[in-house]
Amino acid sequence: DQQVKQNSPSLSVQEGRISILNCDYTNSMFDYFLWYKKYPAEGPTFLISISSIKDKNEDGRFTVFLNKSAKHLSLHIVPSQPGDSAVYFCAASGNAGGTSYGKLTFGQGTILTVHP
């Protein structure tokens, strides 16, 4: 049962344009969401997070949008740079139903390639 899904395995974008990465979740107990960037054989790097009490959070070039009714979140990167090329994971957590915020449930990841 895949509770967090990233339906696009890959995304290719031109440098300077917007990258939009999407993520869907099914567990209504999730109320805290995070995005990570990852290179092979390295640990994920935290990018940005959002609590379910918000619908948008911005940090520099990164903006995360949360649509609770649709159980959908997205990460916008503007402008995209070649150095952004990596695998992007969304993750979800919650504190209800016997779980804890220390347990992150990850999507399968989306490979982002930004072309110069």
Amino acid (1-letter code) at residue 36: Y
Residue 82 tokens, joined: 């070649």
Task: Quickly count: other Cβ atoms within 10 Å of residue 73's Cβ.
Answer: 26
Residue 26 tokens, joined: 């099914």
Measure the CA–CA gap between 114 and 116, rounded to whole angstroms.
7
Residue 49 tokens, joined: 């997070």
Give, for 101, the enclosing helix (H) or strand (E): none
Residue 29 tokens, joined: 């107990």
Q: Is residue 51 a contact point for other proteins (CB under 8 A)?
A: yes
Q: Is residue 45 a contact point for other proteins (CB under 8 A)?
A: yes
Q: Is residue 10 a contact point for other proteins (CB under 8 A)?
A: no
Residue nearer to other proteins on the CB measure, 83 or 102: 102
How many binding residues for other proteins (CB under 8 A)?
27
Q: Is residue 49 a contact point for other proteins (CB under 8 A)?
A: yes
What DSSP character marks residue 17? S
Residue nearer to other proteins on the CB measure, 19 or 93: 93
Q: Is residue 24 a contact point for other proteins (CB under 8 A)?
A: no
Site for other proteins in 75-114 (CB under 8 A): 89, 91, 93, 95, 99-109
Sites of contact with other proteins (CB under 8 A): 31-32, 34, 36, 41-46, 49, 51, 89, 91, 93, 95, 99-109
